[in-house]
Structure 1
């Protein structure tokens, strides 16, 4: 009976975590570059510790046209590389801007990386008539001047990426290989929407809530049975 209570409580914990995952997916329906987590949990034995495995769905979201020259989207395989306090991190959120120092940065101020380091427009951007263009083969130009080339990378294994804040990811081995230019296309003036499907997530939430209630009833029932067994044992 104790074993049954343990497994029922474990199932309840899994349901709670899955509900949190689905709720987070729903909360990020309108978040640029957001990748939904799959509400699939599995306990794995690692160094005598049990951890809850999370899986990210890296399916491409819809691309929407914005006409903002600093909005970029990747059609195909690859991530933008940005410099953070943690080191190099990857993102699909191409809602970029120019900071006061003339660097191309993310919404939260992290510098976007090119093949020749940070991308700076300081010496070129504000010359009369100059336009910023970013070609599908990642060449960054101001007017006719090539400033840099975007660093588009492809991790060895996407399943090993760890999610951080601001729709960014990093890999523990920190091995980021340049993506094959045949596998992607950079779209200037576009953004990639969240790949969350609200209908799918709502259906999942309804089912999870039903499963949670069933698991909760099971835990309560087993707990009552154990209490009765203890009372009988005292007689």
Structure 2
């Protein structure tokens, strides 16, 4: 009698989670280097006994990150960097190496290049990148070589995870992974930032679609509830 309600509750729960994911994507549509997420739905089939129909439950607990590149936007900033093609910058987050495509770096008081949150940018050897405080000009070559006053001083680390599926999203635009390798021929662009790969039009359209699906499920549950109450009233009469 209540099988329909149980399966619909599972579906409604998944739709609510999907609304949260879509809202997160929309909120980060203008976040540098952000990677959009999608929800993964799965089906669980439960047996109800011999010669009885099975019950199908929907589950939505997994997330999938979309890794396609966002557009490059010119800023002209000396420490604004973008990667054209494959690869990630490496930053030190409390002693752990994290990967990111967000290349909006700033020079700290000690000359180190950091993210706006204060995490140091790392070179190809895993050491923090420093820029001389008295440098008059700073340039970054397409291979990541950083020069101050035309003198090479470091090479920005650009790496690629051994398995993109192993990357775990951390706060904001950061990802953690155990295994990664340097990109042989990276293409680093100075004075540009990579935009979010979120398409707001698609996300808003999907939000409307999911909200309509949720409303249909809620209408079904309301009608099923009324049907059960009517049946109970007939049984008591």
Interval of TM-score (by shorter of Structure 1 and Structure 2): 0.7 to 0.9
Alignment TM-score, normalising by the size of structure 1: 0.87
Which of 184, 187, 194 aligns to 1:180? It is 184
**Where does residue 15 of structure 2 map in the other structure?**
15
1:141-193 CA deviation, whole Å, 9 max, x = no partner?
1123222111111112222322111311112xx11211231xx4100000001
Which one has more relative contact order, counting CA pairs under 8 Å at least 6 apart?
1
The 1:43/1:150 distance shift into structure 2, 3 A limit, reads: farther
**Residues 210-225 of structure 1 aligned to structure 2 (within 5 Å):** 210-225=212-227
Contact 1:154 1:176 in 2 (8 A): yes
**Residues 111-190 of structure 1 aligned to structure 2 (within 5 Å):** 111-116=120-125, 117-121=127-131, 124-127=132-135, 130-171=136-177, 174-181=178-185, 184-190=186-192
Report SS of the residue matched to 1:194.
coil
How many residues in Structure 1 have an aligned counterpart in Structure 2? 223
Taking the aligned partners of 2:75 and 2:119, their CA distance within structure 1 comes to: 21
Alignment TM-score, normalising by the size of structure 2: 0.86
Taking the aligned partners of 2:103 and 2:180, their CA distance within structure 1 comes to: 18
- 2:85 pairs with 1:76: yes
Contact 2:124 2:182 in 1 (8 A): no
Gaps of 5+ in 2: 45-58
- 2:193 pairs with 1:191: yes
Report SS of the residue matched to 2:202.
helix
Gaps of 5+ in 1: 45-49
RMSD: 2.1
1:34 to partner: Cα distance: 1.0
**Where does residue 48 of structure 2 map in the other structure?**
none
- 2:113 pairs with 1:104: yes
